């Protein structure tokens, strides 16, 4: 038997055409074509021409290749079997790609299908942030003189119901329904741990125990909120982002411990929905980024009435008479609710990774290479449980590449032009190197910062908060990094990422055509500042 991988089938109607074409090749006894698995199993004579088989498929407009390498699928007993632990972005991408590559998959989930992003992360948080933004605009906007502002009536229970309905809808459409309609994926509900490097023990949710043997395994168990060791904290009913996002009420006073993505996004959302918010930042907001980013976001927050306490740590937390009392260097902070948003920790405990020879770092994250391989050859890992950046699109890309590699391919994940967005208002977005990061790599830089009062879109919006900063290699002029704080910064950063990926110089970026009165035009204007004074240009000067 030979197993031919076929790429390009769009529906079941493709199957009979491919089957007939293959069976017309001299030496082919029979062909079993699977649309779901993207394969054709061939019973052929020993001297059958491989080139003729591939040509028969490509003549129909598809792509075809025989599986090669250590993960070869041309076995007489069964397909390659891949176990996937988890069901989030990395897990689903890997499972679907593995099936496309001709493998069969056992997917193991200990909780709710869909992982962090759709259930308790990206989707519900962005819904809440959007609702808070609408509330803010009704309360205050640059056009209040001509459009009377009104104080919005916040009905949190209805907002929460709307939010959860959309979460449920997306989870079903993008996860549950797909799994239900992919026969090559078997879903087990339970907690998995390694027995050795080729088998798992699954403690099923319904109480039984099951052993799963595999040829390859992907660990994609995600991460959970990290809780700092502050005295008294664990004895209090604090929130992580999970509890905050499903709260049916908006607290009058909210304290937030943290200074990065989750902390700032939810702090502003709750403030705009009616909470008096105090942020306790161990250093400054976004202290790992270009300092101008933290300064701009801090200024925007303080303008909205959010209290930002920089260089402040809680040394003690108590919960007395339904009130949180935080003891800090500069006094006491009292609040009705406390949100802990100090990062996330890989979900690797309890997997018995040591039994499979899988190495983790000092933070418990699985160490992988650019091909998502762990220290144990049959086992791969992807997503937030690894030492990769914790973004769902990174996880999904890693999962896809892991599946390619588990089925005999050679794919790597290049993160040199990875865009990142924080959904505050104004938004923060970055890609590539900051000046400090470039200098640590020994790269001499040339940079320019354009404030938004030089961007026509920002001027007509009457909202010039923020800046766009370009970092270039001093020798070649090639763009190597962009940092932006701007309304809709997330919509312009991908253009910057593409420019970096294309190895464009700032002059080449300045020479591009950008539509007038768009925020992304700010990239062109920022690039022009390397050679001219944009204040002396007409509105849409090229």
Catalytic residues: 9, 11, 14, 62, 117, 122, 539-540
Q: Does a cis peptide bond (omega within 30 degrees of 0) precede residue 61? A: no
Tokens representing residue 190 in the block: 């339970």
CB 241 within 8 A of CB 264: no
Q: Does a cis peptide bond (omega within 30 degrees of 0) precede residue 468? A: no
CA distance 143 to 77: 70
Tokens representing residue 263 in the block: 């902390």
Tokens representing residue 405 in the block: 């590699």
The residue whose two tokens read 């056009």 is 143
Instruction: Characterize 188-215 residue by residue with b for buried, 16 or more Cβ atoms within 10 angstroms of its Cβ, and e for exposed.
Output: bbbbbebeebbebbbeeeeeeeeebebb
User: At 330, is the secondary structure helix, strand, or coil?
Assistant: coil
Contacts of 383 (CB under 8 A, 6+ apart): 86, 88, 89, 90, 91, 220, 221, 222, 394, 395, 398, 399
User: At 62, is the secondary structure helix, strand, or coil?
Assistant: coil
CA distance 109 to 203: 11
CA distance 394 to 510: 29
Pick left, alpha or beta for residue 486 (phi over 0 → left; psi -120 to 50 → alpha; otherwise beta): beta
The DSSP result for 304-335, as a single string, is TT-EEETT--EEEEEEETTEEEEEETTEEEEE
| Residue 481: CB atoms within 10 Å | 24
Q: Give helix 261-272 / helix 122-139 axis angle, nearest 10°.
A: 40
CB 372 within 8 A of CB 412: no
Tokens representing residue 430 in the block: 């970055």
């Amino acid at each position: 038997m030979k197993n031919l991988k076929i790429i390009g089938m769009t529906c079941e109607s493709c199957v009979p055409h491919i089957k007939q074409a293959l069976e017309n090749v001299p030496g082919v006894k029979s062909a079993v074509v699977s649309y779901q698995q993207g394969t054709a199993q061939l019973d052929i004579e020993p001297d059958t021409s491989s080139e003729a088989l591939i040509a028969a498929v490509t003549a129909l407009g598809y792509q075809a290749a025989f599986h090669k390498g250590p993960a070869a699928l041309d076995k007489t007993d069964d397909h390659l079997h891949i176990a996937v632990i988890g069901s989030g972005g990395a897990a689903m991408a890997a499972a679907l790609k593995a099936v496309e590559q001709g493998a069969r998959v056992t997917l193991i989930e200990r909780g709710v299908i869909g992982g962090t992003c759709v259930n308790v992360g990206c989707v519900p948080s962005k819904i809440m942030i959007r609702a808070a933004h609408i509330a803010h605009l009704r309360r205050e906007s640059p056009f209040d003189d001509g459009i009377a502002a009104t104080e919005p009536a916040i009905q949190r229970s209805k907002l929460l119901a709307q939010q959860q309905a959309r979460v449920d809808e997306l989870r079903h459409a993008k996860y549950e329904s797909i799994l239900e309609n992919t026969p090559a994926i078997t879903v087990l509900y339970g907690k998995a741990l390694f027995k050795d490097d080729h088998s798992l023990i699954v403690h099923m949710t319904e109480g039984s125990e099951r052993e799963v043997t595999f040829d390859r395994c992907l660990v994609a168990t995600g991460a959970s909120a990290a809780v700092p060791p502050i005295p008294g904290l664990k004895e209090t009913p604090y929130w992580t982002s999970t509890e905050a996002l499903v709260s049916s009420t908006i607290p009058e006073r909210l304290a937030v411990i943290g200074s990065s993505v989750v902390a700032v996004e939810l702090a502003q959302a709750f403030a705009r929905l009616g909470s008096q918010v105090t942020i306790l930042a161990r250093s400054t907001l976004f202290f790992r980024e270009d300092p101008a980013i933290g300064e701009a976001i801090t200024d925007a927050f303080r303008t909205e009435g959010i209290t930002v306490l920089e260089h402040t740590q809680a040394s003690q937390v108590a919960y007395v008479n339904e009130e949180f009392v935080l003891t800090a260097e500069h006094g006491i902070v009292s609040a009705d609710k406390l949100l802990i948003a100090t990062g996330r920790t890989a979900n690797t405990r309890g997997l018995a990774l040591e039994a499979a020879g899988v190495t983790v770092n000092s933070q418990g994250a699985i160490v992988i290479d650019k091909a998502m391989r762990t220290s144990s050859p049959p086992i791969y890992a992807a997503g937030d449980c690894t030492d990769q950046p914790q973004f769902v699109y990174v996880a999904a890309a890693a999962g896809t590449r892991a599946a390619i590699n588990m089925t005999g391919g050679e794919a790597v994940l290049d993160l040199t032009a990875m865009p990142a967005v924080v959904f505050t208002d104004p938004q923060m977005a970055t890609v590539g190197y900051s000046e400090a990061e470039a200098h640590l790599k020994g790269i001499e830089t040339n940079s320019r910062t354009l404030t938004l009062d030089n961007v026509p879109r920002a001027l007509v919006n009457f909202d010039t908060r923020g800046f766009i900063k370009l970092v270039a290699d001093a020798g070649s002029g090639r763009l190597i990094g962009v940092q932006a704080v701007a309304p809709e910064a997330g919509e312009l950063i991908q253009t910057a990422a593409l420019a970096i990926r294309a190895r464009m110089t700032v002059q080449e970026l300045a020479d591009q055509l950008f539509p007038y009165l768009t925020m992304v035009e700010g990239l062109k204007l920022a690039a022009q500042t390397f050679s001219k004074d944009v204040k002396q240009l007409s509105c849409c000067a090229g």
